[in-house]
Structure 1
Amino acid sequence: MKKINILVLALLSALILVSCGSNGSGSKSSDTQLISQTNNNYYQGVIKKGHYVTSKSRGVSVQQNDNQLNLKGFENGLLSISKSQFPTDSYILQEGQYIDTSTAEKWLDRKSKDNPEGLNPAGKDTKEPMYLQQMDEQDFMEQSHGSLNIKGMTIGLGINSVYYYRKEAYGAVYQRKLDDKDVETQGKAIANQVLKRLRQRKDLKNIPIVIALYKQASNDSLVGGNFFASSVNDKGATSISNWKSLNIKNYVLPDQSNRDINSNDEDAFENFKNQVQKFFPNLSGVTAQAHYVNGNLRGMHINITTQFYGQSEVISFTQYVDAMAKKYLPNSIPIDIQVSSSEGIQSFLSRKTGNKDFYTHVFTSY
């Protein structure tokens, strides 16, 4: 019996040691969880210790950006560019963890004796424009043996098309439109410096790094800016040798002054708008943001502003909008329609690429 007890104790000890070793090596996997995909168009996200992993430099910019559409267009467009290089079914998206807030603030500032890392030109605000406005980092991971390893990265650089400055603190704001060639030249030069700096990090030496340039719209624009160039830099590359021009544009409809918009698209929206406005005499406006890639309409976001608040009116109107959207709007693109009043969003309609029917939701208050 004594020998059996000793043997049992030895086996239990061995099991405890194996269990401890297992927990130690797998602590990263137990702390890290992946967010399941609800749609193959989306990346899986990363949760660590119960919290979503946010970007270390999110929200850092040279100055307050008064056009929120710039921010939305920048983030959404960067995701689209990333998907072409890092497919959603092969990579996991982790928001930027290599460029922290302190680093981003230094890079976005002017170059000076006190800040040699500045990527904006040295000089006075009144004379030398600042080109780099914002940046975003996306890390693309692969899971192996319970841990995540970085396998790729995308960097977006937002370049000003209009430079805003003050001659004195709290004084009037002046503006200077920047030449398109200067925007492109400065953007590409900044991108080269960013790539070189990233390659100094051990984890980033041998991964593909995509860098994309975004021309910001002016503060008073009714649409956001657009990406105009991107570059895929294979592992080890420390300078950018090849740029791909991107023909991406955003337009507001209706806009009779812009001849770049496809007349068929413009007519389709105009017919939809006219029918919608016949439903109630007190509609404040119907406008759309049209997204074009290489001259082809790829998406549309429509805003309808109303002055009615009755629940039955909103329900009836939403059903009518659904019918008119199916009848008049292009059926080969994703479309979002938001119906709102001064009190907030009243209803929402959405259709994905290839779908015939719209998903609709009417907001209620209890």
Structure 2
Amino acid sequence: MNDVMWKRSLALFAVALLLVLGGCGQLTNSSSTASTGTTSNRKVQTTGNYSTTGYNSVVTEGHYKTSAARGVAADYANNALDVKGMETGLMQLSQDVFSPNKYTFQEGQYISAANVKNWLGRKSKSNATGLNPEANGSTDPDKRVPEYLGTMVEQDYMTGSGSKLSLGGISIALGMNAVDYYQKEQYGATFQTKVNKDKQLQEGKTMAQEIVDRLRAKNNVGNVPIFVTIYSLAEQDSLVSGSFIAKATATGKTIDKWDSVDQQSGVLPTVNNQKPINSADATAFNNFKTQVQNFFPNLSGVTASVHYLDGALTQMTVNIQTQFYGQTEIMSFTNYVASVANKLLPGNAPIQIIVSSVNTTQALITRNSGEKEFTTNVLQNY
């Protein structure tokens, strides 16, 4: 497959993945018991836990409690993959501070949509709360002051249950621009200012402390732990999401100590002779890809995205683009892929395989961390 077809396949895979994850939200029923109670005369319960993290989530009066600020923050992201990457990654990192055995997940409720819009803007006379620095008037890529903060995510972690459910902690992810895209004139050409990791960290740490100060000043936040992270956003045309690069916890008013985060994302097979993040996982995937394509040569492509934390594989998502539509053919192919995946793909890591044609997701093959066998689900697209 040439580079154009390969990139087109990965692009379709990204869209399919976002649709699938957006539809299910990675929420699954579990053996955990849902709790129900009343808080301020409002019925509150928790769902079954997220399969990849173990968190239950808050439901109020039969409705999932969403964050009004999420849509605003997502609009500011350059790459749609970063929206999912920040949300799921922040939840995973939060486990070390807010144990799923003691805390319940809730989407952010303390940073409003208006807050996000203002905070992500530049500081100016009309926007005193902007976290990005004032513009210096230059439009030269190397002389202008870029916008460092691209987007942000808030997650809340609750303690207790039922009528005693209360805020136990807050997690924040600051998405820092690796590239700041801008226009010299409205509707004009797009230009770029690159921002290196050191500058992202420097600006991100300063902004994180300011956000902690602002959260402490809000009603009902008090002195709960505030977990803050810095995320390096991917470029617009990247085939994978960005990565977290630093984390810290404020137990009081000040963030005392920052720790680095070793998170990496990549695609398989690699392009432009790039070295894979993990050669053993890359070899396993290539063997899987070869065997699947040899058995069913009528395929448009087999690609994967991989994510690592501290050197360990935390997620592999495989996309298989088919050129067939017969339901029995899809069923046979799905079962075969599951058997090959059991034999060849890395163990002890969550793996999701999406089988799709150009316009339709045909099957899902999944295995959660700790499970030995893959679960198959052939979709009935009548």
- Aligned match of 1:280: 296
Q: Are 1:32 and 1:46, in contact at CA under 8 Å, matched by a contact in 2?
A: no
Cα drift, residue 183 of structure 1:
1.1
1:190 correspondence with 2:202: no
Q: Are 2:44 and 2:163, in contact at CA under 8 Å, matched by a contact in 1?
A: no
Q: Are 2:39 and 2:162, in contact at CA under 8 Å, matched by a contact in 1?
A: no
Q: Are 2:306 and 2:316, in contact at CA under 8 Å, matched by a contact in 1?
A: yes
One-letter identity of the residue aligned with 1:82: S
Q: Are 1:63 and 1:133, in contact at CA under 8 Å, matched by a contact in 2?
A: no
- Aligned match of 2:260: 245
1:36 correspondence with 2:47: yes
Q: Show structure 1 runs of 4+ deviating over 3 A.
A: 38-42, 61-66
2:197 and 2:101 map into 1 onto residues whose CA distance is: 37
1:258 and 1:32 map into 2 onto residues whose CA distance is: 53
Which protein has greater RCO, CA pairs closer than 8 Å, 6+ apart? 2
CA distance 1:63–1:351, change in 2 (3 Å): closer
Cα drift, residue 64 of structure 1:
4.5
Q: Give the TM-score, by structure 1 length.
A: 0.88
One-letter identity of the residue aligned with 2:249: V
1:232 and 1:142 map into 2 onto residues whose CA distance is: 18
Q: Give the TM-score, by structure 2 length.
A: 0.84
Cα-to-partner distance string for 1:211-234 (whole Å, 9 max, x where unaligned): 011100001111001111000111
- Aligned match of 1:218: 235
Q: Are 2:78 and 2:234, in contact at CA under 8 Å, matched by a contact in 1?
A: no
- Aligned match of 1:8: none
1:89 correspondence with 2:106: no
Q: Are 2:76 and 2:151, in contact at CA under 8 Å, matched by a contact in 1?
A: no
One-letter identity of the residue aligned with 2:172: I
1:177 correspondence with 2:194: yes
Cα-to-partner distance string for 1:166-221 (whole Å, 9 max, x where unaligned): 11111111122212211111111111111111111242231111001110000111
Q: Are 1:279 and 1:317, in contact at CA under 8 Å, matched by a contact in 2?
A: no
Cα drift, residue 269 of structure 1:
0.6
Cα-to-partner distance string for 1:275-329 (whole Å, 9 max, x where unaligned): 1111222211111111111222222110111111111111111111111111111
- Aligned match of 2:324: 308
1:258 correspondence with 2:269: no
Count of residues in correspondence between the two structures: 339
Choose which of 317, 335, 346 in structure 1 pairs with 2:333.
Answer: 317
Cα drift, residue 35 of structure 1:
2.3
1:297 and 1:220 map into 2 onto residues whose CA distance is: 24
Q: Are 1:110 and 1:118, in contact at CA under 8 Å, matched by a contact in 2?
A: yes
Query: In the TM superposition, what are the counterparts of 1:1-366 in structure 2 within 5 Å?
Result: 28=39, 30-38=41-49, 41-61=53-73, 64-123=76-135, 124=137, 126=139, 127-143=144-160, 146-234=163-251, 237-255=252-270, 257-366=273-382
Structure 1 stretch displaced more, 119-128 or 130-139: 119-128
Cα drift, residue 118 of structure 1:
0.4
1:111 and 1:217 map into 2 onto residues whose CA distance is: 24
1:51 and 1:186 map into 2 onto residues whose CA distance is: 37
2:147 and 2:174 map into 1 onto residues whose CA distance is: 13
Q: For structure 2, list consecutive stretches of 5 or more residues without a partner in the other structure.
A: 1-36
Q: For structure 1, list consecutive stretches of 5 or more residues without a partner in the other structure.
A: 1-25
1:38 and 1:178 map into 2 onto residues whose CA distance is: 38
Q: Are 1:34 and 1:44, in contact at CA under 8 Å, matched by a contact in 2?
A: no
Cα drift, residue 29 of structure 1:
5.7
- Aligned match of 1:9: none
Q: Are 2:175 and 2:230, in contact at CA under 8 Å, matched by a contact in 1?
A: yes
RMSD (Å), alpha carbons: 1.9
Query: Partner of 2:59: helix, strand, or coil?
Result: strand
Structure 1 stretch displaced more, 79-88 or 49-58: 49-58
Bigger Rg, which one? 1
One-letter identity of the residue aligned with 2:265: N
CA distance 1:293–1:39, change in 2 (3 Å): closer
Structure 1 stretch displaced more, 240-249 or 323-332: 323-332
